[in-house]
Structure 1
Amino acid sequence: MEITLTQKEHEYLLQAVAKMEQDKKDGKEVKAPPMSYETQVALKIVGL
């Protein structure tokens, strides 16, 4: 299954990953960024 992201979504994802990597380096708790309800439902549908 292919997932297409808009430019804005792609940039948000890159920033979120960078923040999680930085938190891991700093020894902080690593948390996923806040997601909309629609995103959470979509992730459940694709099995993540």
Structure 2
Amino acid sequence: METLRTTGANAGMENFLSEFNIPRNKAAMLTKSINGKSHRVSDTVS
């Protein structure tokens, strides 16, 4: 499960995105704009 590779707020973001069916590439950009330190999310989404 991809969500298991994320932690804390990132995992919450994953759940949020999947509930609203937001494309994962947009999710990566969205998360980066919210928190510039979330490089691990973009790695997971790739």
The TM-score range, normalised by the shorter chain, is 0.3 to 0.5
Q: TM-score, length-normalised on structure 1?
A: 0.38
Which protein has the bigger helix share? 2
Max Rg structure: 1
Q: TM-score, length-normalised on structure 2?
A: 0.39
Specify which structure has the bigger relative contact order, considering alpha-carbon pairs within 8 angstroms and separated by 6 or more residues: 2
